[in-house]
Homo-oligomer: A and B are copies of this chain.
């Protein structure tokens, strides 16, 4: 089986999630498109990165990501570092001929995201922006139902990502530092809403909204609220907050079309709510437990009803990337490319500008 060497930047939350996925896909998606070989892992805390190498089975740990870029054995560079470390290493790895994965948000703002995209695209490597929620089986099923025309003409998308972990004024993390994170809830979770809005419902053309910081002393946004228009004529809302007490990971969205509706909540990520206006006297939303043999990604898993977890979405995502590399096929449209990463940033910036100016912002995308 052909191998591909993996170099990982970051060992904490995303480093763990991606490392687990590389290891797990090696046997759960049997046979994998390419057998990932974990070559090197980089991070600032050399003690921690050394332990991560041992834990996940990387051949070596390093305090300098340039070692990964320089390593000939590495064919895939996976960037799970903080946002401020997205641009330089990712571009360098691509320019060294490595395929690249970068966590979202791609850059700290649209300009940086555009730069990453353009520089990487110019190299010809495969690039994936790790919007992993595209790889939730229920989300993919939603996309397939929409593509098949089951919803008819879409009229509404309303998405909100509600978390509550940031309700602690004493908490410190790079996610609260504008220079490292770019923005707050907007880049962290708002971009997920924007990306799934685009994935399921197409391009966003305008936003009217605002961001808000509640916690004293915090310099990034805690929440965002926007009314949006899509290219297909539908309208809706995009919201995100890290201060919705009681909501841990409630990325909820609903789509209404002229023939039916879909609804979803990430806290019950194995379920999709499906309504069809088919004249059935028994009228209502179906709670579909997305775990059937003919459901997306399910060939890799268990008998129906035996649900998967959040971490397993990365298995699907990285499998998709390996397949694109192995078969030289496009990452898009089911995976998010760096262009998708850039476009999500453009929408995010538009929300910021709308908040500052009080005006609805018509979005124009570069490139």
Contact (Cβ within 8 A) A210 B223: no
Interface residues on A, range: 35 or more
Q: Once the chains are docked, how many angstroms separate the CA of A340 from the CA of B237?
A: 26
Q: At the interface with chain B, which of A91-99, A102-110, A118-126, A267-275? A: A267-275
A244 and chain B: residue at smallest CB distance: B256
Tell me which of A19-27, A316-324, A331-339 binds B. Answer: A19-27
Q: CA of A244 to CA of B158 in the docked complex: distance in angstroms? A: 11
Tell me if A37 counts as interface (CB < 8 A to partner B): no
- Which residues of the other chain, B, contact A359 by a CB distance below 8 angstroms? 358-360
Among A65-73, A74-82, A190-198, A245-253, the one that faces the other chain is A245-253
Contact A209 B210 (CB under 8 A): no
B246 touches A284 (CB 8 A): yes
Chain B residue contacts of A304, Cβ below 8 A: 165, 248-249
List A133-162 residues whose CB lies under 8 Å from chain B.
141, 145, 155-156, 158, 160, 162
B225–A236 CB distance below 8 A: yes
Q: Which residues of A contact B (CB under 8 A)?
A: 13, 17, 19-20, 23-24, 27-28, 30-31, 55-57, 141, 145, 155-156, 158, 160, 162-165, 167, 208-210, 212, 214, 222-223, 225-229, 233, 235-237, 239, 241, 243-250, 254, 256-261, 266-272, 274-277, 281-289, 291-292, 294-295, 301-312, 354, 358-360
